[in-house]
């Protein structure tokens, strides 16, 4: 490196940029006692052989010798008597075994214990839901009916589906299934018979409705029909009533929040992100609530009688249950509707006062603009005909990315130029950019399971800057975001109580606990780092973005896990590299950052004019590891991208542990 070394910074790597790799030697050495990764990966260097003691070489032979010796000591009569008794015992044993196994086959088949598993079996898969809801805002109740079209791939006598399971006055949820039936379908989807259900019950512990059939359900297509009724609660998830004052009067609005596990509070459904299906929806509501919205545009709106209106909606694309959304309100929306370049109909809806004051316009305009930008970024057009954005007076999150019907807290969507601050405007912009990013990454391509939530939220937090920078180029938002994500991530991730970005989760509480700064901010910072690996600098994005586009194309309307994304990144990164060159594998690099918690602090030492050594150590705010610490599969070592600059040249290189 010579005496011209000026800057050494954390950043990216690109071996191609190294004109003279021998000139500089960087090594990432572990501090202290920690073994290097290579040792950890080969723990079996010592081979152990054990001799079997002669006495235990053949226990059956030894037993046989003993029995033979004893038998030879018996008289002929004794031998006959023993043989007769043994014969009788064998006959008796056969009778007993036959009886027991017969009664076992009469008992419930073993498979029934599947409702003790927290996850649904993957051998019953939904393809379509035909749902009708009647929302009674006055009495704060709703009723529903649905046909769920399923495909059974393994013979079973039990069907499981998620339902809301809380029957408590304090919580107020009271979904009560009043009808259920199972029907066999032919290839055309027509009903050709029914399957008698012997016993059905809610299994509260795992939020299941269990249906045991009288006969085996063999592989094929079926339809389950349900009717239910439930209270409409004033909570903040499922479908719920929120209230506000207008001209001195109390008003109600129905809103929804399904992510992560509340769709089951609205309808029986396969409430896991990988059970994607299409939905058809019909909503009947009182005509005092003229605005009734769902994920897809309305086809028709007809008066049933003097009180009730029936809204029928277009069939949805294949989607996960956590993205369903509902609004029943007396709100106003942006008029005329704004269109994106390719014709997506966009409007913002909210209380009449703010909309009359024009507070809907800013979010509606940037929504249309950001859709255009994301269509280019993701290389895929927005697949739905509309996006309604609704400001809800009581909303638990800042906003929720429901497909085609995004719900926001009022302050995250409405911006009145006469009253509100520029800080409010920036908030509206970033939240809109974030939720729109999910319309592709999250909604079109969805994580297989909640353990990859960091990817969903981290990615939207990363893509958010693209939307913001394109819609408000003068804001210098990129500089701000890079800084704010990293500092937020470092703050929480320097404690031993932190967690790896990707963790196994199954219990509902573990799932909700994942919506934290590790998923959002560390996740986003890690994607920036991956982009720098692939593209060389923070401002170039070509390889990374190509990989994202092919990932979206490959998994659209489906589900993927983090390694599926890494594989796409690695494929493109590898193709751009000289194949003779040894290169790090992006999957391995990313795993060291997502499968272990915390992060490294680096120390750079100069040996002489031409050499520096860089070592890494896990950073903890407490200063040192404490006994009882969680083990890491990578021994708390990371692949660290190094970016450096000398007086004469700028270099980037991935330093590997050695
Ligand atoms: N998907 C989340 C909303 C969410 C959060 C659902 C927690 C369930 C539990 C949404 O995309 C989101 O991340 N919203 C953020 C705003 C964003 C700009 C960071 C929020 O609600 O704060
Ligand atoms: Zn999000």
- Mind giving me the DSSP string for 59-81? HHHHHHHHHHHHHHTS-HHHHHH
- Find the ligand nearest to 408 CA: 1
- The mean per-residue pLDDT over the stretch 146-163 comes to 97
pLDDT at 658: 35
Which of 395-399, 491-495, 602-606, 607-611 comes out lowest in average pLDDT? Answer: 607-611
Atom of ligand 1 nearest to the CA of 460: 11
pLDDT value of position 32? 32
User: pLDDT digit string (tens) for 11-28?
Assistant: 333 333 333 333 333 333
Minimal CA–CA distance to 276: which of 224, 313, 317, 220? 317
pLDDT in tens, 571-605: 988 776 655 455 678 899 999 999 999 999 999 99
According to the model, what pLDDT value does residue 618 have? Answer: 93
Which CA distances in Å does 596 have to 41, 92, 501, 533, 638?
15, 60, 7, 19, 9
Q: What is the number of the ligand 1 atom nearest to the C-alpha of 431?
A: 18
Q: Give the Å distance between the CA of 399 and the centre of ligand 1.
A: 5
The CA-based angle 454-437-502, given to 5 degrees, is 5
Q: Rounded CA gap, 315 and 297, in Å?
A: 9
pLDDT of residue 105: 37
Q: How far apart are CA 96 and CA 93, in angstroms?
A: 5
- Output the average pLDDT for the chain: 83
CA distance 485 to 160: 41
Per-residue model confidence as pLDDT tens digits over 164-173? 865 555 554 5
Distance 397 CA to ligand 1 centre (A): 6
Lining ligand 1 with CB less than 6 A are 259-260, 397-401, 430-431, 434-435, 438, 457, 460, 515, 520
Between helix 453-471 and helix 477-493 the angle, nearest 10°, is: 160
pLDDT of residue 2: 32
Tell me if 392 sits within 8 A of 253, measured CB to CB.
Answer: yes
Pocket test for ligand 1, best of 391, 397, 463, 481 (most atoms within 8 A of CB): 397
Can you say how many angstroms the Cα of residue 69 is from the centroid of all Cα atoms in its chain? 68
Sign of CA dihedral 248, 252, 256, 261: positive
How does pLDDT run across 398-440, given as a tens digit for each residue?
999 999 999 999 999 999 999 999 999 999 999 999 999 999 9
Q: What is the pLDDT of residue 71?
A: 59
Residue with CA at minimum distance from ligand 1 atom 8: 259
Q: What is the pLDDT of residues 448-479, one digit of tens each?
A: 999 999 999 999 999 999 999 999 999 988 88
Q: In the chain, what percentage of residues exceed pLDDT 90?
A: 67
Looking at the predicted structure, is the pLDDT value of residue 266 above 90? yes
The mean pLDDT value for 271-297 works out to 98
The whole-number average pLDDT for the span 99-128 is 70
26 has catalytic annotation: no
Counts of helices then strands in the chain (DSSP H, E): 14, 29
> What confidence tier does 38 reach under pLDDT thresholds 50, 70, 90?
very low
CA–CA separation, 515 and 521 (whole Å): 10
Q: What is the pLDDT of residues 52-86, one digit of tens each?
A: 223 334 544 544 455 556 556 666 666 676 666 66
Sorted by sequence, the CB contacts under 8 Å of residue 464 that are 6+ apart come out as 430, 433, 434, 437, 481, 524
What pLDDT score was predicted for residue 580?
Answer: 47
d(CA 60, CA 49): 24
pLDDT reported for residue 20: 37
Q: Is the pLDDT of residue 111 over 60?
A: no
Separation CA 200–CA 210 (nearest Å): 5
| Marked catalytic residue, from 373, 435, 464, 643 | 435
Contacts of 47 (CB under 8 A, 6+ apart): none
Higher pLDDT, 607 or 274: 274
Cα 205 to middle of ligand 1, angstroms: 27
Cβ neighbours for 310, distance < 8 A, ≥ 6 positions apart: 282, 283, 284, 300, 301, 302, 303, 304
Residue scoring higher pLDDT (644 or 552): 552
Alpha-carbon span 485 to 487, nearest angstrom: 6
How far CA 95 is from CA of 106, 183, 192, 248, in Å, comes to: 17, 40, 42, 82
Tell me which ligand sits closest to the C-alpha of residue 322. Answer: 1
- The count of other CB atoms within 10 Å of the CB of residue 467 is 27
Ligand closest in space to the Cα of 450: 1
Crossing angle, helix 562-576 and helix 523-535, to 10 degrees?
A: 20
Residues 6+ apart with CB under 8 A from 221: 149, 150, 151, 152, 184, 185, 186, 187, 189
């Amino acid at each position: 490196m010579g005496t011209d070394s000026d800057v050494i910074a954390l950043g990216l790597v690109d071996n191609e940029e190294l004109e003279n790799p021998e000139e500089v030697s960087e090594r990432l050495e572990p501090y202290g006692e920690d073994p290097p990764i290579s040792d950890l990966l080969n723990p079996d260097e010592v081979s152990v052989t054990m001799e079997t003691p002669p006495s235990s070489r053949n226990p059956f032979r030894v037993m046989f010798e003993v029995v033979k010796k004893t038998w030879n000591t018996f008289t002929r009569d004794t031998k006959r008597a023993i043989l007769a008794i043994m014969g009788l015992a064998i006959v008796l044993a056969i009778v007993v075994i036959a009886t027991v196994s017969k009664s076992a086959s009469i008992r419930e088949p073993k498979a029934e214990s599947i409702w003790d598993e927290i996850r649904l079996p993957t051998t019953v898969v939904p393809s379509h839901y035909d749902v009708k809801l009647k929302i009674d805002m006055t009495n704060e109740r709703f009723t529903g009916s649905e046909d769920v079209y399923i495909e059974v791939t393994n013979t079973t006598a039990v069907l499981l589906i998620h339902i809301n399971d809380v029957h408590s006055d304090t919580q107020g949820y009271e979904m009560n299934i009043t009808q259920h039936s199972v029907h066999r379908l032919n290839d055309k989807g027509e009903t050709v018979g029914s399957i008698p259900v012997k016993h059905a019950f809610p299994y509260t512990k795992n939020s299941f409705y269990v249906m045991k059939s009288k006969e085996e359900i063999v592989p094929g297509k079926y339809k389950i029909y349900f009717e239910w009724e439930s209270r409409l609660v004033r909570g903040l998830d499922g479908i719920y009533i929120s209230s506000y004052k207008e001209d001195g009067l109390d008003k109600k609005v129905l809103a929804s929040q399904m992510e992560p596990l509340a769709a089951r509070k609205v309808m029986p459904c396969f409430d896991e992100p990988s059970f994607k299906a299409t939905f058809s929806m019909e909503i009947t509501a009182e005509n005092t609530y003229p605005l009734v919205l769902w994920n897809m545009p309305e086809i028709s709106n007809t008066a049933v009688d003097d009180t009730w209106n029936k809204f029928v909606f277009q069939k949805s694309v294949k989607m996960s249950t956590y993205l369903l959304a509902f609004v029943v309100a007396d709100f106003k929306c942006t008029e005329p509707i704004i269109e994106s370049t390719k014709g997506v109909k966009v409007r913002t809806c909210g209380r009449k006062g703010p909309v009359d004051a024009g507070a809907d316009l800013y979010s509606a305009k940037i929504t249309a603009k950001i859709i255009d930008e994301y269509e280019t970024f993701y290389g895929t057009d927005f697949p739905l005909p509309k996006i309604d954005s609704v400001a809800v007076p009581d909303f638990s999150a800042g906003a929720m990315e429901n497909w085609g019907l995004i719900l926001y807290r009022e302050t995250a969507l409405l911006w009145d130029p006469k009253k509100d601050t520029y800080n409010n405007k920036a908030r509206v912009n970033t939240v809109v950019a974030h939720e729109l990013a999910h319309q592709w990454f999250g909604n079109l391509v969805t994580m297989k399971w909640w353990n990859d939530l960091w990817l969903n939220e981290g990615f939207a937090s990363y893509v958010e800057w693209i939307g913001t920078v394109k819609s408000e180029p003068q804001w210098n938002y990129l500089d701000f975001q890079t800084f704010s994500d990293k500092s937020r991530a470092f703050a929480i991730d320097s404690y031993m109580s932190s967690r790896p970005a990707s963790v196994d989760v199954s219990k509902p509480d573990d799932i909700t606990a994942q919506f934290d700064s590790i998923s959002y901010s560390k996740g986003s910072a890690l994607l920036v780092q991956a982009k720098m690996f692939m593209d060389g600098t923070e401002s170039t994005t070509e390889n990374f973005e190509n990989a994202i586009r092919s990932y979206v194309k490959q998994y659209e309307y489906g589900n993927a896990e983090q390694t599926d994304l890494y594989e796409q990144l690695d494929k493109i990164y590898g193709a751009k590299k000289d194949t003779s060159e040894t290169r790090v594998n992006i999957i391995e690099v990313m795993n060291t950052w997502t499968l272990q918690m915390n992060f490294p602090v680096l120390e750079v030492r100069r040996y002489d004019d031409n050499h520096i050594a860089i070592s890494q150590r896990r950073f903890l705010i407490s200063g040192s590891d404490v006994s009882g610490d969680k083990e890491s599969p990578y021994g708390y070592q990371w692949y660290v991208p190094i970016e450096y600059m000398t007086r004469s040249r700028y270099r980037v290189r991935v330093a590997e542990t050695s």
